[in-house]
Every structure is written in C-alpha cells, then in structure tokens.
Amino acid sequence: MGVEFLIINTLVLILTVIASLIAVLLRDLLAAAIALAAMSLLLSLEFYLLQAPDVAIAQAGVGACLTTAIVIIAIKGTKRMEEE
Amino acid sequence: MSEMTKIVKTTANILFPFTMIFGLYVIVHGHLTPGGGFQGGAIVVSGCALLLVAYGSSWVFDHIKDKRLATFESLGAIGFITIAFLGLVFSAVFFGNFLTGSGTLFGTTPATGSTLSNFNTGGVLPLMNFAVGVKVIAGLFVIVLVMAHASSIKEWG
C-alpha cells in the first residue's frame, strides 16, 4: 500500500467519474453506450486493484460486454440520436 | 439485427474460439482460480453475442432454438439441486461435500503448504460449477437472442 497504489487508485476513480459524465452528457446514444462500456471496464480495473479479481471478472463480462450488447441492440431497434 | 460486412465476420471468426476457450477455462478452474460458473458463463455468452452481432439474429435463430436453451437452463438448475440433495443422502448434510477425500472423481486431498494447484480436488464444487455454467450460458444467451430477434421485427401493430 505505497504511494503508487494511492495515485493509480485515485486516477482510475477520476477516469471512471469522467467516463460516466460523458455517458450522461452525450446526445449520440451509441457513443454514450460505448462510454458506459468504458466506465464499466475502468470500474472492473478498480475492483482488480482492490484485490477482488472475482468481482472484476463478473463486472467485465456482464457490465462491459453483455449490457453494451443489449443496449446497442435496443438502439438499433429505435432511434440513435436523442431529441431535445 | 441484420448481417454485417465480411471484415466483421472474419474478425468474429478469429476471436470466437479464443473467447470460448477462455470462458470454459474459467468455468472448469472455478475451484482453483478466481471465477467460477457465473463469470465463465458470462464470458462464453459474450463470445456468442459477438457471433450474434456479426452474423445477424436470423442466422443464429436457424441454428439455435430458444426452446432448447430453456431446456438447458432447467437442466443446470436440476443438476445443481440434485448434487445438493446427493450431499443430503451420502453425508447427511444438505450441500454436503461427499466426494472430497474419497479418491474418485475430483476426490484427491490437496497437499498442505505452498504447492502447485492440483486440478483433481474440490469434491462436488467443480460439478456444481459445471451446472451453474450451463444455466448461466443458456439463461443469458436466451436473453440476448430474444432481444435481438424482437428488435428485428418491424411491424408491432
């Protein structure tokens, strides 16, 4: 638990918050889905840094892959751009 | 979903076996390494979702029936609860680990201390991981498959 761990941990958490903010603010829903997948992948990296590889595998498999696939299928069935 | 281009199909053809092998590895090494039935099943289903995106839902629907996937999901649940009741029969405890230490299937006692991991240990835990893996693969894949098929129907009335 050195100072490097603290720096990497804080950096990953800040990037997670930035990715989720991008996912909320974007008007293009497909890009927002990709930003959500990036947020999920960074969250799985954070789980791995906190010594929980089991939860990290589950988060990467379900959050970053399957949820993104379902959301993209739903976007393809409806409209891509969000309206005002 | 409709079919995609040849580039996407070729990439999916290359990546699909590696994803399947990694997912099945996570399932069968569930009692030794991080992961288990749920995590490995999610990885296998992500490979199948890649195939679904590349080849389209109608192609996958021709090869895999959702009724059969429902049968597999029920089979996983039945296998899990059957092994749990076999523990009640053989060792008088629900979920009892009756195979460990017996010297048969997955029955070796692991050596103490820091040694290399022995695959042939764990008793009923690998069998339960297989059952959970079959249930998770069938359950999650039927969700993605029905979602893709329903979104490709144009006229809902």
> Which residues constitute the domain of residue B147?
6-152
Residues of chain A neighbouring B42 (CB-CB closer than 8 A): 57-58, 61-62, 65-66
Spatial distance between the Cα atoms of B40 and B114, rounded to a whole number of angstroms: 26
Spatial distance between the Cα atoms of B121 and B137, rounded to a whole number of angstroms: 24
Per-residue confidence (pLDDT) for residue B53, from 0 to 100: 85
Residue with tokens 């490979």: B47
Residue with tokens 């947020």: A39
Residue with tokens 């069998």: B127
Q: Domain for residue B98, yes or no?
A: yes
As a residue count, chain A comes to 84
Phi-psi domain of B85 (left: phi exceeds 0; alpha: psi -120 through 50; beta: other): alpha
Mark which residues 116-155 of B lie under 8 Å from A by CB. Answer: 140, 143-144, 147-148, 150-152
Q: Which residue has the higher pLDDT, B106 or A61?
A: A61
Question: Choosing among B32, B151, B153, which should be mutated to test the A contact, i.e. which has the most A CBs within 10 A?
Answer: B151
Could you tell me which chain B residue has the CA closest to the CA of A51? B34
Q: What does the pLDDT look like over A2-43, one tens digit per residue? A: 888 899 999 999 999 999 999 999 999 999 999 999 999 999
Per-residue confidence (pLDDT) for residue B123, from 0 to 100: 82
Distance in Å, alpha carbon of B34 to nearest chain A alpha carbon: 5
C-alpha torsion A23→A72→B142→B40, nearest 10? -50
Per-residue confidence (pLDDT) for residue B47, from 0 to 100: 92
What is the 8-class DSSP label of residue B116?
P
Could you tell me which chain A residue has the CA closest to the CA of B45? A66
Per-residue confidence (pLDDT) for residue B106, from 0 to 100: 80
Integer angstrom CA distances of residue B110 from A27, A37, B36, B103, B150: 56, 40, 19, 11, 49
Q: Which two tokens stand for residue A21?
A: 């903010």
Per-residue confidence (pLDDT) for residue B81, from 0 to 100: 94
Q: What pLDDT band is residue A73 in, cutting at 50, 70 and 90?
A: confident
Q: Domain for residue B129, yes or no?
A: yes
Spatial distance between the Cα atoms of A14 and A39, rounded to a whole number of angstroms: 11
Structural domain count of chain B:
1
Q: Domain for residue B148, yes or no?
A: yes
Contact B1 A66 (CB under 8 A): no
Q: Domain for residue B157, yes or no?
A: no
Could you tell me which chain B residue has the CA closest to the CA of A48? B34
Residue A50 forms contact with B (CB below 8 Å): no
Residue A69 forms contact with B (CB below 8 Å): yes
Q: Domain for residue B1, yes or no?
A: no
Residues of chain B with pLDDT under 50: none
Q: Domain for residue B145, yes or no?
A: yes
Per-residue confidence (pLDDT) for residue B1, from 0 to 100: 64
Most confident of A44-48, A80-84, B148-152: A44-48
- ipTM here: 0.83
